[in-house]
């Protein structure tokens, strides 16, 4: 057991706690993966089996006939109000738990010393973040790593519309590339560029699910161990909400200027303020 391992474990738990999932019961398994970089297949199978039992006991409500016939919902199961998933779970609560557990295990893989993504390579391909998302969620979703095909909102927040997703995802990649260039040179991580990455990535919300966890995985890969664990759930969502809400104001200035379609980027200032405190 090392201080670095403890810090990585705290970061992994905080990422899941921010997303509403408790993974403290996986401490022993996460520590082993942090050391070896390997997730035992039987561990994944056991968690999936447990999720199936839980989902069978607590299935999500069935979709109405009108909803099934007349509403296109490409990510929703045909019969129940649950995201389509590879294990075939009929209950969203059990699915949410499984997503947290398996993405925590895969994050531990990424943070292990032998990981092929640690440190992250410099951004040379447009699918860098898509590959990361696929690594984290490929156990659960067949569409992991694929850009979303629907508009998304959360409570009173609407993320960028479909025609803008790739533009803002590319802006996030440009900001991340500047962070990684500094990281590989051994220079101090530019807080403004890290904030720009978080602002644009959260605003783009490029995937149907898992955007927050994948953003936090990047944060864990480019910052010292223990950084994320010093950010509270309330502070993370406060920065996220303020950054996204600001995109709708006339005063908002794009990170790299307005796009060709006149769209503007998210406001990095809330993230700059948050990062300055950790």
Position 264 scores a pLDDT of: 56
Residue 56, φ and ψ in degrees, nearest 5? -65, -35
Position 259 scores a pLDDT of: 42
pLDDT digits (tens, 9 = 90+) for 210-267: 999 999 999 999 899 999 999 999 999 999 999 987 654 423 333 333 344 445 568 9
Position 211 scores a pLDDT of: 97
Rg over alpha carbons for the chain, rounded to the nearest Å, is: 19
| pLDDT beneath 70: ranges in the chain | 1, 116-126, 246-265
d(CA 166, CA 174): 12
Residue 183, φ and ψ in degrees, nearest 5? -60, -45
Where are the domains positioned within the chain? 3-275
Burial class for 166, CB neighbours closer than 10 Å (0-12, 13-18, 19+): middle
Position 71 scores a pLDDT of: 86
Is 0.85 surpassed by the pTM of this model? yes
pLDDT digits (tens, 9 = 90+) for 143-164: 999 999 999 988 777 899 999 9
Position 72 scores a pLDDT of: 85
Position 260 scores a pLDDT of: 40
Position 86 scores a pLDDT of: 98
3-state SS track over the chain = CCHHHHHHHHHHHHHHHHCCCCCHHHHHHHHHHHHHCCCCHHHHHHHHHHHHHHHHHCCCCECCHHHHHHCCCCCECCCECCECCCCCCCCHHHHHHHHHHHHHHHHHHHHCCCCCCCCCCCCCCCCHHHHHHHHHHCCCCCCCCCCCCCCCEECCEECCCHHHHHHHHHHHHHHHHHHHHHHHHCCCCCHHHHHHHHHHHHHHCCCCCCHHHHHHHHHHHHCCCCCHHHCCHHHHHHHHHHHHHHHHCCCCCCECECCCCCCCCCCCHHHHHHHCCC
d(CA 277, CA 109): 28
Among candidate residues 167, 150, 145, the one with its CA nearest the CA of residue 264: 167
Position 249 scores a pLDDT of: 41
d(CA 202, CA 37): 28
Position 253 scores a pLDDT of: 32
CA angle 196, 209, 166 (to 5 degrees): 50
Position 119 scores a pLDDT of: 54
> Domain 3-275 adopts which CATH fold?
Fic-like fold (1.10.3290)
d(CA 142, CA 123): 24
């Amino acid at each position: 057991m090392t201080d670095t391992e403890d810090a990585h474990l705290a970061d992994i738990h905080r990422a899941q706690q921010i997303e509403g999932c408790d993974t403290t019961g996986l401490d022993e398994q996460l520590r082993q993966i942090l050391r070896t970089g390997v997730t035992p297949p039987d561990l994944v199978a056991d968690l999936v089996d447990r999720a199936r039992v839980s989902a069978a006991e607590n299935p999500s409500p069935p979709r109405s006939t009108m909803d099934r016939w007349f509403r296109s919902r490409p990510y929703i199961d045909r019969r129940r109000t649950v995201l389509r998933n590879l294990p075939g779970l009929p209950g969203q609560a059990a699915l949410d738990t499984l997503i947290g557990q398996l993405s925590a295990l895969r994050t531990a893989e990424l943070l292990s010393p032998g990981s092929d993504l640690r440190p992250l390579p410099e951004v040379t391909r447009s699918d860098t973040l898509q590959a990361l998302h696929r690594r984290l969620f490929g156990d659960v979703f067949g569409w992991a790593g694929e850009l979303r095909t629907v508009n998304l909102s959360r409570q009173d927040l609407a993320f960028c519309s479909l025609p803008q997703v790739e533009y803002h995802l590319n802006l996030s990649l440009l900001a991340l590339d500047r962070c990684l260039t500094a990281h590989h040179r051994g220079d101090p991580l530019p807080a403004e560029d890290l904030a720009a990455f978080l602002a644009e990535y959260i605003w783009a919300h490029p995937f149907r699910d898992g955007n927050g966890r994948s953003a936090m995985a990047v944060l864990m890969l480019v910052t010292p161990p223990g950084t994320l664990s010093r950010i509270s759930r309330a502070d993370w969502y406060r920065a996220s909400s303020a950054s996204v809400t600001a995109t709708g104001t006339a005063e908002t200035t794009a990170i790299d200027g307005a796009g060709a379609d006149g769209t503007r980027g998210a406001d990095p200032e809330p993230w700059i303020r948050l990062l300055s405190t950790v």
